[in-house]
Amino acid sequence: AQKVTQAQTEISVVEKEDVTLDCVYETRDTTYYLFWYKQPPSGELVFLIRRNSFDEQNEISGRYSWNFQKSTSSFNFTITASQVVDSAVYFCALSEEGYGGSQGNLIFGKGTKLSVKP
């Protein structure tokens, strides 16, 4: 059965600190996709990154970086030099290969609420 676990319910840091949000997933598929979404206090969901199971290269985008490790079934997200605008709930999600109509369906973790204080 597929599952996404974000063990950190809430994290609080002071501005400029680095912070890592953990994501552990379970799947029996060999082909799958992992996503991170951001939900700021305004409530909308913003897509951040997609990674497929065959691409274990780490990704860096500005202050954001993602570490994908198949050996530990983890897809962790690090924010370097955090800012107050990074305060949000962050969701990790899994999409399995699926068949027919269920392709692309997302299984979400419960989210990690990040508070960055000035």
Residues 92-111 that bind other proteins (CB under 8 A): 95, 97-98, 100-106, 108-111
Q: Please report how close the Cβ of residue 109 comes to other proteins at its closest, in angstroms.
A: 6
Residues 13-52 that bind other proteins (CB under 8 A): 31, 33, 35, 37, 43-45, 47, 50, 52
Residue number, 20 or 31, with CB nearest to other proteins: 31
Q: Using CB atoms within 10 A of its CB, is residue 49 exposed (0-12), middle (13-18) or buried (19+)? A: middle
Residues 53-82 that bind other proteins (CB under 8 A): none
**Per rule CB under 8 A, is residue 7 in the interface with other proteins?**
no
**What is the chain's alpha carbon radius of gyration, rounded to the nearest angstrom?**
14
Residue number, 74 or 80, with CB nearest to other proteins: 74
Query: What are 85's two structure tokens?
Result: 């605008």
Residue number, 80 or 87, with CB nearest to other proteins: 87
Q: In this structure, is the dihedral angle defined by the CA atoms of residues 101, 99, 69 and 7, taken in order, positive or negative? A: positive
> Distance between CA atoms of 84 and 65, rounded to whole angstroms?
18
For other proteins, the binding residues (CB under 8 A) are 9, 31, 33, 35, 37, 43-45, 47, 50, 52, 91, 95, 97-98, 100-106, 108-111
